[in-house]
Amino acid sequence: MPDTAPLYEGKAKIIYPTDNPHILRSHFKDDATAFNAQKKGQIVGKGAINCAISAHLFRLLESQGIATHFIDQPSSNEMTVKSVSIIPLEVVVRNIAAGSLCQQTSLALGTALKFPLVDFYYKNDSLGDPFLSEARILLLELATLAQIEELRALALKINEILTTFFQDCGITLVDFKLEFGLDQSRQILLADEISPDTCRLWDQSATDPNDRVLDKDRFRRDLGNVEQAYAKVMERVLSHSV
């Protein structure tokens, strides 16, 4: 870990400056939180696993025309990234009903959705990351209408690429959360991470509804074998070339 003072520390990552003002170093932590940090713990080895999975998926997405903040992975739990101004929206794509969609609607867990659903949430811990309508995003000036449309189109394209990739790994991509940022020229870049912390991933070779869970729901719901599940995702992802 660099000995310079961090620019920012989040729940799962620490962001450090570099000699180049346009490049940052993102350090992935083993710390895990859930339910807006009301539940806290550690998943041993998570930082390195999420960094490796994210680096692989960013390379995959770049190879298919998605602009990301990813530059390089200089060590097991560190990534160099382009400096961006994060758009304070969590963009969630859902293919199968789970989590808050089941809590807030009559859809049963596991229902295949008729179309991929793109939901926006306010990235604001003190408000508990509430769901936002398009009108509320415009009202709060978090993004313009053109940017909302671009975010939706990017999220759906990323969903197609990742769904196909995970399918090849024997994993169903149930849902996931993305974050985007604006670079110096106001271009939208995919940022943050894509990992078992930010996706729901179900093992297609397991039939039991708890056994199939390979993501942070194991930590959220105290299902056990969290490290093993994360390691399984990494092994399968890294063995499928970009």
Binding site for ligand TMP (CB under 6 A): 92, 98-101, 129, 175-177, 198-200
CB of 128 to ligand TMP, least distance (A): 9
Residues whose CB is less than 8 angstroms from the CB of residue 161 and which lie 6 or more positions away in sequence, other chains included: 60, 61, 64, 66
Return the one option of ligand ASP, ligand TMP, none that residue 11 interacts with (CB less than 5 to 8 A, by type): ligand ASP
Checking DSSP bridges between strand 8-9 and strand 85-86, what pairing results, if any? unpaired
- CB 95 within 8 Å of CB 171: no
What element of type H or E holds 15? strand 13-17
Stretch that binds ligand ASP, among 34-42, 59-67, 70-78, 230-238 (CB under 6 A): 34-42
Return the one option of ligand ASP, ligand TMP, none that residue 99 interacts with (CB less than 5 to 8 A, by type): ligand TMP
Query: For residues 100 and 139, what is the distance between their CA atoms, to the nearest angstrom?
Result: 24
Task: Report the alpha-carbon angle 129-61-178, nearest 5.
Answer: 0
Return the one option of ligand ASP, ligand TMP, none that residue 226 interacts with (CB less than 5 to 8 A, by type): none
Tokens representing 73 are 């992975």
Query: For residues 154 and 31, what is the distance between their CA atoms, to the nearest angstrom?
Result: 29
Residue nearest to ligand TMP (CB): 99
Nearer to ligand ASP, 36 or 144 (CB): 36
Does the protein bind ligand ASP through residue 220 (CB under 6 A)?
A: yes
Nearer to ligand TMP, 5 or 112 (CB): 112
Does the protein bind ligand ASP through residue 29 (CB under 6 A)?
A: no
Nearer to ligand TMP, 199 or 233 (CB): 199
Tokens representing 179 are 């974050």
Interacting residue ranges for ligand ASP, rule: CB under 6 A = 11, 33-34, 36-37, 216, 220
